[in-house]
Structure 1
């Protein structure tokens, strides 16, 4: 087991970074900084600090659904992406959690 840090970002799919989605920009920034892994989850129901409910609309396939982004790596590597997150996350929050991760050896 290896001590790692998990960065979890909570936002919505409509959050923007310039002319693209913030979710895509964070994923690309993670890859560019060679972080170990990044996974994006789209929620079907949720709300944030403004208490506006976001849910799947039957007539439209989605309605600004909640999104969770998990990134796991060493704290030093996570720190390389935090300035980007802090500068661009206008609608959401992030958390940092210490985790123990099992990383299989490449054979």
Structure 2
């Protein structure tokens, strides 16, 4: 491993595009909560198809379901930041699936 990497956590939340919390899109709410806590960044990725724990298939091809495709909201952060974000989501009683994994994180180039 290179000396310019750190051990970090990939924290991914999985939701539907239209999922909301307190009237705000859940993906936007999560990004805003992370930003307020000084977390360096997060990204939202929209799937072209998928199904979740309830077995309902969502695809771009199904017109009536196309606007509620799955999204992944992903953060690369330090372990303590991941815990802060997870605790916040729990306290807000958000119904969402998440996954974590330990990663090596580095930045190339100049900032």
Place the TM-score, normalised by the shorter chain, in its bin. 0.7 to 0.9
For residue 18 of structure 1, the aligned residue among 5, 17, 22 is 22
Which runs of 5 or more residues in structure 1 are unaligned?
A: none
1:1-107 alignment to 2 at 5 Å? 1-57=5-61, 59=63, 62-86=66-90, 87-90=92-95, 92-104=96-108, 106=110
State the TM-score, normalizing by the size of structure 2.
0.84
For residues 58 and 94 of structure 1, the distance between their equivalents in structure 2, rounded to whole angstroms, comes to 26
How many pairs align? Answer: 106
Q: What CA distance in whole angstroms lies between the structure 1 residues aligned with 2:70 and 2:100?
A: 19
Q: Retained in 1: the 8 A contact 2:48–2:60? A: yes
Inter-partner Cα distance in structure 2 for 1:14 and 1:88 = 17
**What's the TM-score, normalizing by structure 1?**
0.87
Q: 1:7 to 1:24 in 2, by over 3 A?
A: same
Distance 1:88 1:106 in 2: 39
Say what the alpha-carbon RMSD is for the aligned residues: 1.9
